[in-house]
Amino acid sequence: MSLYDIPVNTLSGEPSSLAGFQGKAILIVNVASKCGLTPQYEGLEALQKRYETQGFSVVGFPCNQFAGQEPGSAEEIQTFCSATYGVTFPLFEKIDVNGDGQSPIYAELEKTPDAEGYTGDVRWNFEKFLIGRDASVTRFAPQVTPEDPTLLVAIESALH
């Protein structure tokens, strides 16, 4: 089963998958609304706007596993993201990215090493996984901001 076939639910609870993103470049991010890194939403939305016409999308998966920093309901998350950061990129259902209840998507993604060679559990909110048009995966630590030149170069490369 590929990453695109794994069942997930939309933020509103509708059954879905990442199949609609196959052949595109996507940036999968575990997001949270009460984190020191939450302002990255602004940069993620800027990436969405900058590259969406080229076949790119940010894809957010809210997660409450890190210091309880995403306690909200689906409706609260949607309202916060829309009202505070003008988020237009798709958000999926709140999931676990680590541990016994780990989403199968993250079980696959965490096998990919980041630039320092780290593999395994997601370390914090806003860890990023760039999936290229060719389904290649590149991992970025949470501290790598959406504006980071390394990420921008990787996105542009993933689009070609």
Q: CA-to-CA distance for 24 and 134, rounded, in angstroms?
A: 8
Beta strands (DSSP E) in the chain are: 8-9, 15-16, 25-31, 56-62, 128-131, 137-140
Q: Does residue 35 carry a catalytic annotation?
A: yes
The CA–CA distances, whole Å, from 74 to 38, 52, 53, 77, 110 equal 17, 24, 27, 5, 25
25-31: strand order across its sheet: 56-62, 25-31, 128-131, 137-140
Location of structure tokens 């209840």: 101
Tokens of 65: 């596993």
Q: Is 62 exposed, middle or buried (0-12, 13-18, 19+ CB in 10 A)?
A: buried
Of the residues 18, 32, 35, 59, only one is catalytic, namely: 35
Which residues belong to the active site?
35
